[in-house]
Amino acid sequence: MKRRRFGAATLAALAAPVVGGVGCALQPAGRPAAAEAAAASEPSDATATPPTPPGSPDHPPPAPREFRAAWVATVANIDWPSRPGLSAAALRAEALALLDTAQGLGLNALVLQVRPAGDAIYPSTLEPWTEFLSGEQGRPPWLPGEAAWDPLAFWVDEAHRRGMELHAWFNPYRARHSAARSPLVAPHIALREPGVVKAYGEMLWMDPAEPAAVAQTLAVVADVLRRYDIDGVHIDDYFYPYPVPAPGARDGAELPFPDDAAWARYQARGGTLARDDWRRAQVDHMVQALQRTVRETRADVRFGISPFGLPRPDRRPAGITGFSQFDKLYADAEKWLENGWLDYWVPQLYWPIARVGQQFPVLLDYWLAQNPQQRHLWPGLFTSRVGTAGVAAQGVPGNIWPAREIADQLALLRSRPAAGGHIHFSLIALHQNRDGLATLLRQGTYTTPALVPATPWLSAPAVGLPGLRRMNGPAGLRVRIEAAQAGAAPQRWAVWRRLPATGTATAPRWVFSALGPAEREIDPEGADLVWVQGQNRVGQLGPRALVHL
């Protein structure tokens, strides 16, 4: 396999640290909790030291912040599982392999598709089991003789154990995918409410203008919010469906979406909007209702939208051309962002940097300028365009990209501080290390761990001050984190180690790491000072505890 080489300038840009974020005022370290009775070593209390001012040798720099995520698509078995009909043990093993890839790479969040098409990857009374797990809609994802299990709960628990967020990705309108093979079963909405589901092309779609269809989606999202400890609710670019060409048409004609019944009711009530505007109003209503549902059900969960990446035609920068989601999907995306109807925005910038008509930096700068509410902006990257090393080495133009394209896009994002993260579509390309991309990112772009950016307009209980204790045992000196006696449990730990100056260096060096909430033992690795603070559900850091070694 041919190894691809990357220029020194690219690697240097990728390895540059990311800084910024919202922290809490420094506070003195408190008295550690009592030592565990069963401790085999002899602990000594950490020293309680008054806070030091920022910029002093005893004060670390701000924690690095960047949203580093990947989508995990279940529809058509794109990412997980690899095929339908696996045993529960095999399903869990595949999930763990993907989770380990994400953790090893340095990602801090995953966006898992939980509702591919009016179905579910978790037990639900509202919608049937998806066939993309078991091979048959309505059949649970375990074989005879295996114990029942909940795949979504498993993903949430395992992601959190690794210090990663888990966002639940819902398709709000799709009711059946073209890759589906088994018949629909109860309680699928197409059987319970057949009048609100329409056939269009090779798929079934819930009509956005039918109140029962919208109510179903809102009920499903609220159910997941109540039952699962998810960190985000996420929808993508499928609103009204992408147009289907009319059979036999040679003039580009498209099949109209079959919403005549809802349109007629609207007109009969005296509605005055043009049909396109009326359709956009339906999607606007759903977006606002979803945000309201998230806020009212779980105030600490973020709501994110990932729209098609091209602007509406009347607002496009010079030279930008292509598909219009405003006219074809009836998605007034700019309106949603400008009004702050979401917490994070993931425009799908699925084109190379130099693609004429869809230049990546031009589109990125456009979306950054449409964000007066200063919501998080974390573009989606088409990482799955990266081919295998052999294909990429051949320089195939068009849809096969070399790994360096994604690396260069990430470097470009880093040059815009307002773009505080990104999401890869999708995790399987990183898991397969296509063209050495995962290796490149692990050794360059993601060398320094990062915390998820804070979301200061949301609220969540603050974490307390952890205790720190020196532990001298057979493995040598360790620092043990002891849970705070007050405050919320942390979602992860932010840890700074101060390494003394060596050689010709005149100043100490700070090394940052992010640990899962259950990771309580720190190897100082030669540090003379360790700082620790917990991060709460909306990314805010609590008070720092420190111990001199």
Question: Does residue 7 register a pLDDT over 60?
Answer: no
Give the pLDDT confidence score for residue 53 in this predicted structure.
66
Cβ contact 120:127 at 8 Å = yes
Give the pLDDT confidence score for residue 31 in this predicted structure.
31
Percent of the chain whose predicted confidence (pLDDT) is above 90: 83
Give 488's pLDDT tier (boundaries 50, 70, 90). Answer: very high
Question: Does residue 106 register a pLDDT over 60?
Answer: yes
* 3-state SS class at 65: strand
Render pLDDT for 214-235 as a digit per residue (tens, 0 to 9).
999 999 999 999 999 999 999 9
Helix 88-105 vs helix 151-161: crossing angle, to nearest 10: 30
Give the pLDDT confidence score for residue 529 in this predicted structure.
96
d(CA 443, CA 145): 44
* 3-state SS class at 364: helix
Give the pLDDT confidence score for residue 71 in this predicted structure.
98
Q: What is the dihedral of CA 87, 88, 89, 95, to 10 degrees?
A: 110
Helix (H) or strand (E) holding 412: helix 403-414
Residue 129: Cβ-neighbour burial (10 angstroms; 0-12, 13-18, 19+): buried
Render pLDDT for 357-389 as a digit per residue (tens, 0 to 9).
999 999 999 999 999 999 999 999 999 999 865
What mean pLDDT value characterizes the chain?
A: 90
Render pLDDT for 67-96 as a digit per residue (tens, 0 to 9).
999 999 999 999 999 999 999 999 999 999
The better pLDDT of the pair 42, 280 is held by: 280
State the average pLDDT over residues 397-415. Answer: 91
Strand partners, 477: 472
Give 507's pLDDT tier (boundaries 50, 70, 90). Answer: confident
pTM equals: 0.90
Give the pLDDT confidence score for residue 431 in this predicted structure.
98
The alpha-helical segments, DSSP class H, found in 329-402 are 333-339, 360-369, 389-393
For the record, the structure tokens of 121 come out as 């990857």
State the average pLDDT over residues 300-311. Answer: 98
Percent of the chain whose predicted confidence (pLDDT) is above 70: 88
* 24-64+458-548 CATH choice from 2.60.40, 3.30.70, 2.40.50, 1.20.120: 2.60.40
Give the pLDDT confidence score for residue 196 in this predicted structure.
98
State the average pLDDT over residues 156-172. Answer: 98
Question: Does residue 40 register a pLDDT over 60?
Answer: no
Give the pLDDT confidence score for residue 248 in this predicted structure.
83
d(CA 190, CA 199): 10
d(CA 183, CA 204): 13
* 67-445 CATH choice from 3.20.20.80, 1.20.1250.20, 3.40.50.920, 3.40.630.10: 3.20.20.80
Give 13's pLDDT tier (boundaries 50, 70, 90). Answer: very low
State the average pLDDT over residues 184-191. Answer: 98
d(CA 46, CA 530): 10
Render pLDDT for 15-26 as a digit per residue (tens, 0 to 9).
333 333 333 322
Render pLDDT for 431-450 as a digit per residue (tens, 0 to 9).
999 999 999 999 999 999 99
Q: Poorest-confidence range of 142-151, 276-285, 290-299, 396-405?
A: 396-405
Give the pLDDT confidence score for residue 58 in this predicted structure.
78
Give 184's pLDDT tier (boundaries 50, 70, 90). Answer: very high
Length of the chain: 549
State the average pLDDT over residues 506-512. Answer: 91
Question: Does residue 50 register a pLDDT over 60?
Answer: no
Residue 381: Cβ-neighbour burial (10 angstroms; 0-12, 13-18, 19+): buried
Q: Which of 331, 330, 364, 332 is nearest to 347 (CA)?
A: 364
Cβ contact 130:122 at 8 Å = no
Amino acid at 396: V
Domain boundaries defined on the chain: 24-64+458-548, 67-445
Render pLDDT for 231-264 as a digit per residue (tens, 0 to 9).
999 999 999 999 999 988 888 899 999 999 999 9
